[in-house]
């Protein structure tokens, strides 16, 4: 388990992290989210001992040792590949930095290239690859030594939905074998799909922490999705409805000022008859992100 306890970090007058604490158990995925400059990369750099900080970070109950760092897979937000190397040379070079032998790594390369559908061969130069394929090679470099702790900073950057799904499966495979995983993403759909828990940072402070459902439930079931022959104007007259957003013909999202209004709205719309859709839910993570970041800008 990765445990972060009361870490603080400032750069001059800027408080980049302010008393941040959370755990990432083995076999779980934590999404670290927040606006640009919230402190996500500073948190990663603190874990990796790239910078000094106040507080305590432990791995499996002890301070990180040199050997422990060999079992971390880190994907930085910026590409850090060497363009003159071939794919094979790049993967072997970074694996050897993690204490892996070329004899062990080389036989695995073709399988990983196929798994991530890389458009190129092991002899292709990094400079000849598209940005998306360079990102996939960097992901292979991060994963090929089967790390026990994965730190992924914007791992889906530059990937289309099909290739993003390939990465999600790889992340879930790592979770299944017991790795502790922490990653950041500005795409809340990716966080929703794979995370067991999340931490939201805002200007260096932790403003949300918990499982995805617990975090969503904090905001109440204020979103109501309905399919009805009522029009938007009529729906807006229902007590407790703050706004109405059309989605498709006959489909609407109602934002409620009072979640308790749901049963009365259901009775008004159905009047004892069947309707195709009536689903009352908490806000999505994307909506919560906008609310919390908006508070900082207000």
* C-alpha–C-alpha distance, residues 144 and 216, integer Å: 35
pTM above 0.75, yes or no: yes
* C-alpha–C-alpha distance, residues 118 and 137, integer Å: 7
Helix (H/G/I), strand (E/B), else coil: 58: strand
Looking at residue 53, the DSSP 8-state letter turns out to be -
**Per-run averaged pLDDT (10 residues), the chain, 298 residues:** 97 95 97 93 95 96 92 88 95 93 95 94 95 91 95 88 90 96 92 94 95 92 96 96 95 95 96 93 92 68
Query: What is the pLDDT at residue 53?
Result: 96
For domain 2-217, which CATH number applies: 3.40.50.11720, 2.60.120.10, 3.40.50.1820, 3.40.50.300? Answer: 3.40.50.300
Q: Which residues contact 206 (CB under 8 A, 6 or more apart)?
A: 19, 20, 21, 22, 199, 200
Question: In the chain, what are the domain boundaries?
Answer: 2-217, 223-281
* C-alpha–C-alpha distance, residues 232 and 11, integer Å: 51
Return the axis-axis angle of helices 87-97 and 131-143, rounded to nearest 10°.
Answer: 30
Give the C-alpha distances (Å, rounded to integers) separating 47 from 36, 69, 77. Answer: 19, 10, 15
Query: What is the pLDDT at residue 79?
Result: 76
> For the range 20-25, what are the long-range contacts, defined as Cβ-Cβ under 8 Å and sequence gap of 24 or more?
20/55, 20/199, 20/201, 20/204, 20/205, 20/206, 21/206, 22/199, 22/206, 22/209, 24/180, 24/181, 24/182, 25/1, 25/180
Query: What is the pLDDT at residue 296?
Result: 55
Query: What is the pLDDT at residue 122?
Result: 94
């Amino acid at each position: 388990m990765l445990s972060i306890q009361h870490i603080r970090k400032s750069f001059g007058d800027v408080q980049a992290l302010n008393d941040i604490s959370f755990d990432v158990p083995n076999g779980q995925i934590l999404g670290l989210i927040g606006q640009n400059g919230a402190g996500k990369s500073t948190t990663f750099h603190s874990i990796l001992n790239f910078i000094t900080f106040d507080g305590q970070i432990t791995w499996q109950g002890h301070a990180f040792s040199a050997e422990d760092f060999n079992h971390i897979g880190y994907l930085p937000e910026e590409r850090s590949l060497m363009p003159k190397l071939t794919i094979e040379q790049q993967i072997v070079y970074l694996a050897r930095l993690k204490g892996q032998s070329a004899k062990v790594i080389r036989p695995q390369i073709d399988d990983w290239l196929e798994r991530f559908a890389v458009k190129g061969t092991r002899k292709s130069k990094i400079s000849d690859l598209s940005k998306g394929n360079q990102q996939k090679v960097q992901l292979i470099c991060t994963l090929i030594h089967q790390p026990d702790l994965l730190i992924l900073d914007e791992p889906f950057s530059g990937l289309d939905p099909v290739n993003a799904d390939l990465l999600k499966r790889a992340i879930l495979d790592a979770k299944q074998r017991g790795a502790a995983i922490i990653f950041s993403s500005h795409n809340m759909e990716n966080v929703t799909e794979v995370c067991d828990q999340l931490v939201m940072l805002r200007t260096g402070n932790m403003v949300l922490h918990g499982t995805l459902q617990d975090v969503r439930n904090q905001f109440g079931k204020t979103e109501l999705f309905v399919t009805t022959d009522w029009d938007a104007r009529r729906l807006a007259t229902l007590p407790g409805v703050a706004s109405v957003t059309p989605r498709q013909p006959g489909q609407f999202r109602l934002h409620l000022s009072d979640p308790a209004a749901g049963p009365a709205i259901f009775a008004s719309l159905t009047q004892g008859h069947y309707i195709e859709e009536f689903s009352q839910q908490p806000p999505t993570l994307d909506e919560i992100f906008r609310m919390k970041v908006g508070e900082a800008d207000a």
